[in-house]
Chain A
Amino acid sequence: MRPIDQQTPTYMPTANRPINAGTSMNDNTSRLDGVAKVTGAARYGRDMHLPNAIYIALVRCPYGAADLESSDAAAAKAVPGVLEVEVTGKEGKYHGQPIGHVAAESPLAMKRALRALNCTWKRKPVKTRISDVAPDMPAPEDKTKEILESAELKLEAVYSTPVQPHSSLETHGGVVDHKGDRATVYASTQGTSSVKDGLGDSLGLPQSAFEVVCEYVGGGFGSKLGGPGKEISTAARIAAKYKRPAYLFCNRSEEHLDTGNRPSLRALVRLGFMKDGTILGGEIHKWGGVGVGGGGGGASLPSGRYRLGDVKKSDSNVSTNGGGPRPARAPGNPQGVFVEELMLDEVAAMAGIDPLDLRRKLVTDDIYKEMFDLGARLIGWQDRRANGTQRTGLRTGFGVGSTNWGYRGPQGSAEVVINRDGSVEVRTGTQDIGTGQRTIMGIVAAEALGVPLRVVNVRIGHSTLPPGPGSGGSQTAYSTSPIMNSATRDARQQFLTLLAKGDGADAAEFDIKDGQVLRKGQPYLTWQEACAKLPNDGVTGKNEAHPDGGAGGSQGVQFVKVAVDVEAGVVHPLHVVAIQSCGRVVCRKTAESQIIGGVIQGLSYALFERQILDRNVGTMVNDNFEFYKVLGPMDMPHIEPVLWARGQTGVRSLGEPPIIPTAGATAGAIFNAIGRPVRDLPMTPDRLLAAMEGGAS
Chain B
Amino acid sequence: MAHDPGPAPDGAVPGQNGPARGVTRRSFVQTIGISAAATSLGSAAADALARQRSQESGGPEGVTILGPDPVEVTLNINGKPMMATIEPATTLMEALRLHLNLTGCKDVCDRGACGACSVLVDGRLTAACMLLALDAVGSQVTTVEGLAKGDPPKLDPVQECFVRHDALQCGYCTPGLIMACRALLNENPKPTLEQIKHGLSGNICRCGTYTNIFNAALEASGQAPIMDQKGA
Listed in ascending order, the chain A residues whose CB lies under 8 Å from chain B are 1-5, 8-13, 16-17, 30-31, 33-44, 46-47, 49, 62, 72, 75, 78-80, 106-109, 111-112, 114-119, 167-170, 216-221, 251-254, 433-436, 574-575, 589-590, 592-594, 596-601, 604, 619, 624-626, 630-634, 636, 638-640
Q: Is the interface of B mostly helix, strand, loop or mixed?
A: loop
Query: Are B168 and A38 interface neighbours, CB within 8 A?
Result: yes
For chain B, give the interface size range. Answer: 35 or more
Q: Using Cβ atoms and an 8 Å threshold, which residues of chain B touch A219?
A: 170, 172, 206-207
B181-213 contacts to A (CB < 8 Å)? 196-198, 200-201, 203-213
Q: Does B107 contact A (CB under 8 A)?
A: yes
A-B contact pairs, 18 of them (CB 8 A): A10-B164, A16-B225, A49-B98, A111-B4, A114-B17, A117-B17, A169-B170, A170-B172, A218-B106, A251-B2, A434-B169, A590-B169, A599-B208, A601-B208, A633-B203, A633-B210, A638-B226, A638-B230
Pairwise interchain contact B206-A112, C-beta atoms closer than 8 A: no
Task: For the complex, give the distance between the alpha carbons of A117 and B13 in Å.
Answer: 11
Q: Is the CB of B15 within 8 A of A115?
A: yes
Interface centre among A72, A221, A626, A633 (most CB of B within 10 A): A633
- From B43-51, B110-118, B130-138, the one touching the partner chain is B110-118
At the interface, yes or no: B59 with Cβ under 8 Å from chain A?
no
* In contact, A112 and B227 (Cβ under 8 angstroms): no
The answer, among B8, B107, B198, for a CB contact under 8 Å with A634, is B198
B10 interfacial contact with A, CB 8 Å: yes
Instruction: Indicate with 1 or 0, residue by residue over B89-118, a CB within 8 angstroms of chain A CB atoms.
Output: 110001001100111111111110110100
Once bound together, how far apart are the Cα atoms of A458 and B103, in whole Å?
Answer: 23
Q: Name the one of B17, B101, B171, B207 contacting A33, with C-beta atoms under 8 angstroms.
A: B171
Q: Given A17-B227, A80-B8, A219-B207, do A116 and B15 touch, yes or no (CB 8 Å)?
A: yes
Are B166 and A42 closer than 8 Å at their CB atoms? Answer: no
Task: Assess whether B12 is in contact with A112, with CB atoms less than 8 Å apart.
Answer: yes
**Does residue B23 face the partner (Cβ distance < 8 Å to A)?**
no
| Nearest chain B residue, comparing its CB with the CB of A641 | B211
Query: In the bound complex, do residue B154 and residue A4 qualify as a contact, i.e. CB atoms below 8 Å apart?
Result: yes
Starting from the known contacts A16-B226, A599-B208, 16 additional A-B residue pairs (CB-CB under 8 Å) come to A12-B164, A30-B164, A35-B159, A38-B162, A39-B148, A40-B143, A108-B6, A108-B89, A116-B14, A167-B206, A169-B170, A252-B111, A593-B212, A596-B208, A633-B214, A638-B230
Could you tell me if B160 and A118 are in contact, using CB atoms closer than 8 angstroms? no
The residue on A at minimum CB distance from B113 is A625
A670 to B97, CA, bound (A): 45
> In the complex, which of the residues A9, A31, A433 has the most CB atoms of chain B within 10 Å of its own CB atom?
A9
CA A16 – CA B231 in complex, angstroms?
A: 14
Output the least CB separation between B218 and chain A (Å): 11
Query: In the bound complex, how far is the Cα of B155 from the Cα of A8, in angstroms?
Result: 10
A626 touches B113 (CB 8 A): yes
Which residues does chain A contribute within 8 Å of B54, judged by CB atoms? none
Residue of A nearest to B114 (CB): A625
Question: Which of A108, A119, A170, A434 has most chain B Cβ within 10 Å?
Answer: A108
With A2-B153, A34-B163, A38-B159 in contact, is A62–B113 under 8 Å at CB? no
Asked, given contacts A79-B12, A117-B17, whether A596 binds B209 with beta carbons under 8 Å apart, the answer is: yes
Check B163–A35 contact: CB distance below 8 A.
yes
Contact between B171 and A218, CB atoms less than 8 A apart:
yes
A47 touches B97 (CB 8 A): yes
CB distance from B22 to the nearest CB of A (A): 9
In contact, B168 and A34 (Cβ under 8 angstroms) = yes
Q: How far is the CA of A638 from the CA of B113 in the complex (A)?
A: 25
Q: Are A632 and B201 closer than 8 Å at their CB atoms?
A: yes
Given the complex of chains A and B, what is the CA–CA distance between A217 and B2 in angstroms?
A: 23
Complex Cα–Cα for A75 and B9 (A):
14
Indicate if B61 sits at the interface (CB-CB under 8 A).
no
Q: Is A639 in contact with B211, judged by CB distance below 8 angstroms? A: yes
Closest chain B CB from A438 CB (angstroms): 11
Please name all residues of chain B whose beta carbon is closer than 8 Å to the beta carbon of A638 when the two chains form the complex.
Answer: 226, 229-232
Which among B113, B155, B231 is the interface contact of A4 at CB below 8 angstroms? B155
Q: Which residues of A contact B228 (CB under 8 A)?
A: 16
Determine whether the beta carbon of A44 is less than 8 Å from that of B172: yes
Q: List the A side residues contacting B159 at CB < 8 Å.
A: 35, 38-39
- The reply to whether A624 and B163 form a contact with Cβ atoms under 8 Å apart is no
Q: How far is the CA of A4 from the CA of B148 in the complex (A)?
A: 8
Q: Which of B9, B108, B213 has the most C-beta atoms of chain A within 10 angstroms of its own C-beta?
A: B108
Contact of A218 among B12, B170, B178 (CB under 8 A): B170
- Expressed in whole angstroms, the Cα–Cα distance for A80 and B5 within the complex equals 13
Q: Does B152 contact A (CB under 8 A)?
A: yes
Q: Quick check: A107 and B98 within 8 Å, CB to CB?
A: yes
CB distance from A64 to the nearest CB of B (A): 12
Measured between alpha carbons, how far is A625 from B213 in the docked complex, in Å?
Answer: 20
Contact A252 B201 (CB under 8 A): no
Which residues of chain B come closer than 8 Å to A30, judged between CB atoms? 163-164, 166
Residue in chain A with minimal CB distance to B101: A49
| Alpha-carbon separation in the docked complex, A79 to B228 (Å) | 60
- Looking at the assembled complex, report how far the CB atom of B92 sits from the nearest CB atom of chain A, in whole angstroms: 14
Contact of B175 with A by CB under 8 A: yes
Q: Does B53 sit within 8 A of A, measured CB to CB? A: no
Residues of B within 8 A of A115 (CB): 5, 14-17
B168 touches A251 (CB 8 A): no
- Nearest residue, chain A, Cβ from B30: A108
Smallest beta-carbon distance A178→chain B, Å? 20
**B contact residues around A36 at 8 Å (CB):** 171
In the complex, which residues of chain A have a beta carbon less than 8 angstroms from the beta carbon of B200? 633
Contacts of A251 in B (CB 8 A): 1-3, 110
Residues on A with beta carbons closer than 8 Å to the beta carbon of B7: 112
B128 contacts partner chain A, Cβ-Cβ < 8 Å = no
CA distance A1 to B101 in the complex (A): 11
Q: What residues on B are CB-neighbors of A10 within 8 Å?
A: 164
Cβ distance B231 to chain A, nearest Cβ, rounded Å: 6
Given A39-B104, A626-B113 in contact, is the A11-B163 Cβ separation under 8 Å? no
Which residue on A lies nearest to B208, using beta carbons? A600
Give residues 1-44 of B contacting A (CB, 8 Å).
1-10, 12, 14-19
B206 touches A111 (CB 8 A): no
A593 near B145: Cβ-Cβ < 8 Å: no
Bound Cα distance A46, B107 (Å): 8
Residues of B within 8 A of A31 (CB): 163, 166, 168
* B141: Cβ under 8 A from any A Cβ: no
| A522 to B104 alpha-carbon distance, docked (Å) | 49
Q: Is the CB of A624 within 8 A of B104?
A: no
CB of B201 within 8 A of CB of A13, answer no
In the bound complex, residues from chain A placing their C-beta under 8 Å from that of B98 are 49, 106-107
B121 touches A (CB below 8 Å):
no
- Closest Cβ of chain B to A165, distance in Å, is 11
Any chain A CB within 8 A of the CB of B174?
Answer: yes
